[in-house]
Each structure stands twice: as C-alpha cells, then as structure tokens.
A and B are shown apart, each in its own frame.
Chain A
Amino acid sequence: MHQSHASVSDAILVEQARAGAARAFEELVRRHFRAAYAAALALLGNQMDAEDVCHDGFLKALERLEECRNPDKFGAWVVQIVRNRARNYREYRAVRSTVPLESTAAASPEDSARDLERSELRHLLEAALGKLSEVQREVVLLHDLEGWKHREIARSLGISEVAARQHLFVARRQLRESLGPQIVKEYLS
C-alpha cells in the first residue's frame, strides 16, 4: 500500500499532505516515526509516553505543515516538534506526579518467551539509558537506533559535531558499564 511512495522525496510528500493526501502523510509518519520516538524516549524514558507524544507531535506537525519552510528537512522539523512536546509533557508529568504506564507488551497473556525476553531487555535498556544525561540519551538513540549522522544530530540538538561524538562515546561506555558485559555481548552487539 505505502510502497508506492517509497521513492518520493519528503518535499513532494509534504506538498501532497498540505493538499490533504492522507497517504502522503502516512508515508512521512512511517519514515520519521523512529527518529521522533528516539527523541521522545530520550526525554521521557518510557515507551508509552514516547509513543503518545509522537502521536500528538505528528498531528501537530500536520496542522502546522505550512510552517515547514524546508520540506526536504521534514524529519528534523518534526523531531523538533516532538522534542518540544516531550519537554512540555515531562513538566506536566512532574507536576501531576503521574506514575509511568506499564508496557502493554509485557501485559499480554499471549506473549511468547521471546517477547518476554525482549520486553525485559527493553526495560533494562530504558533503565540504563535513564542513568545518562538527556543529551547523551538523545545522541546515542538517534545515532544507534535511527542511524542519524553526527552532523544531523549536531544540527538538531544545537551542538557541535565534536560534542556529538563525545556524547556518543561516553554514552556507549556508560551503557556498557550499566548493562554489564554479558548482556552487551549476548544481546546488544
């Protein structure tokens, strides 16, 4: 269904979405959800909140699509929107003292052993990421989860490329220390 848009540039998809083409916007969501999720997860620390904020962020981006001055950079633009909404949500959450929601993956009775293992691994990763600074989390997730280049990360976060490289180096080292060599060797390398 969405493969017909696979070779279309972001700029054209944005133009079509501005005209009300749902398929074009859906393709934009598919392309950039993971980067937006990485930014939200770095700020919020758990899957459910990150997904909710991404959901709202993409809807807000659609409403404000005319403000996207460089449609070829839609990805960076929507990540910034999601990042801002994640910060607002974090402040709101801190005020309301909301208990983080449990992952639905672990709650399902039909979970296979592999799913449970993955769920446990996810919790371990989230806990280890929680020990990093905000910028370290975002750098390592955008780089290692989404595959952004240092230049893209630096531009998105408003830091130098050298700083991005340093944050990545430190973040990886701390994650390996937090998780332990066995988990890293078995699951994460």
Chain B
Amino acid sequence: MSEDRIDFSALDPTRDEARFERLVSAIVHDAEPEFTRRRQPSSAVAQVGQWWWPLLAAAAVVIMVSLGFLWRLGDTPGASASVVVESGIEESLGVPTQVASWIRSDQLPSTSDFLETIEVSQ
C-alpha cells in the first residue's frame, strides 16, 4: 500500500490556473528591470569581464610556456649566453651584474676578478 503514489494535487500550485498565472505574471513583471538590463548592449569592460575565465586560462598557459622556456635556457650555458647578450635581460635571468658586463663588453676578465665574482655570487 505504501508503494502507491499519494495524490498531492491539492498542493499543486498549477492546479488553480488563475492563481498560477498570477504567480508567473508577478515573477515576469518583477524581472522586467533585469530583462531590460540584459537587452542593453554591454560595454567593452563588461564583455572582457565575461571572458575573464578564458583570458585567465590563456594567460596561465603563456606563463607556463615562458617559464619552461626560461628554465631550459638556464640548463644550456652556451644558448643562455648568446640569448643573454642579444636580449639584455641578464639580470632578470639571475646572471651576476659583473658577469653581464663582461659579456656585453666582449672583454675577458682576469682570473682573480673571475674568481672573486664567482665567490661573491655564491
């Protein structure tokens, strides 16, 4: 007996059609300001705001690829030096300032200068 569905139609809000229509109309009426807002063309800022998740994901991918690229450069001394000379971003890659100036000037340091710089940087 308890397997049988109980007839709750007395509680059904759609049973009284006139009342239900009033309920729906009231909701749609009160939603009109929101419909109006949505129909207006959105500003550039709002459009960018709608795309912030994809933009964030794209930025994350670019950062990951860049970090991977820089990390590989750090593992390849020869490549690192040539790129460093061309790009001039030695300091940002962690190259000691003194070493960077030697690279830029194409002058070989003296042995004592080199050892001193290495000791300081360590």
When C-beta atoms are compared, the residue in chain B nearest to A175 turns out to be: B6
Cβ–Cβ contact A125 & B30, under 8 A: no
Give the interface segment out of B34-42, B75-83, B85-93, B97-105.
Answer: B34-42
CA of A57 to CA of B48, assembled, Å: 28
A22 — which chain B residues lie within 8 A by C-beta? 28, 31-32, 35
Interface residue A92 (Cβ < 8 Å from any Cβ of B): no
- Please report the C-alpha to C-alpha distance between residue A156 and residue B6 in the assembled complex, in whole angstroms: 21
| Also in contact, A37 and B13, with CB within 8 A (given A26-B24, A176-B1) | yes
Say whether B2 contacts A176, CB under 8 Å. Answer: yes
Interface class of chain B by DSSP? helix
Q: For chain A, which range describes its interface: under 10, 10 to 19, 20 to 34, or 35 or more residues?
A: 35 or more
Choose among B13, B14, B28 the residue with the greatest number of A CB atoms under 10 Å from its CB: B13
- Known contacts being A55-B23, A173-B2, A189-B7, is A34 close to B13, with CB within 8 Å? yes
The verdict on A154 contacting chain B, using a C-beta distance below 8 Å, is: no
B39 touches A19 (CB 8 A): yes
A59 touching B8 by the CB < 8 A rule? no
Chain A residue contacts of B1, Cβ below 8 A:
176
Q: Mark B13-56 against chain A: 1 for CB-CB distance below 8 A, else 0.
A: 11010011001101110111011111100000000001000000
Whole-angstrom distance between the Cβ of B53 and the nearest chain A Cβ = 11
Q: Which residues of B contact A44 (CB under 8 A)?
A: none
* Minimal Cβ-Cβ distance residue in B for A18: B38
Q: Which residues in A have their C-beta under 8 angstroms from that of B9? A: 145
A55 to B23, CA, bound (A): 8
Q: CB-CB < 8 A to B38: which residues of A? A: 17-20
Q: Which of A25, A34, A176 is within 8 Å of B12, CB to CB?
A: A34
Is residue A62 contacting chain B, with contact meaning CB distance below 8 A? yes
Are B2 and A29 touching (Cβ within 8 A)?
A: no
In the complex, whether B11 has a CB less than 8 A from a CB of chain A is: yes
Flag A56-73 by CB within 8 Å of B: 1 or 0 each: 001100110010000000
Contact with B along A157-180 (1 / 0, CB 8 A): 000000000000100110110000
For residue A106, CB closer than 8 A to chain B, the reply is no
Binding site for A on B (CB under 8 A): 1-14, 16, 19-20, 23-24, 26-28, 30-32, 34-39, 50
Shortest Cβ-Cβ A-B pairs, 4 listed: A20-B38, A20-B39, A145-B8, A173-B2
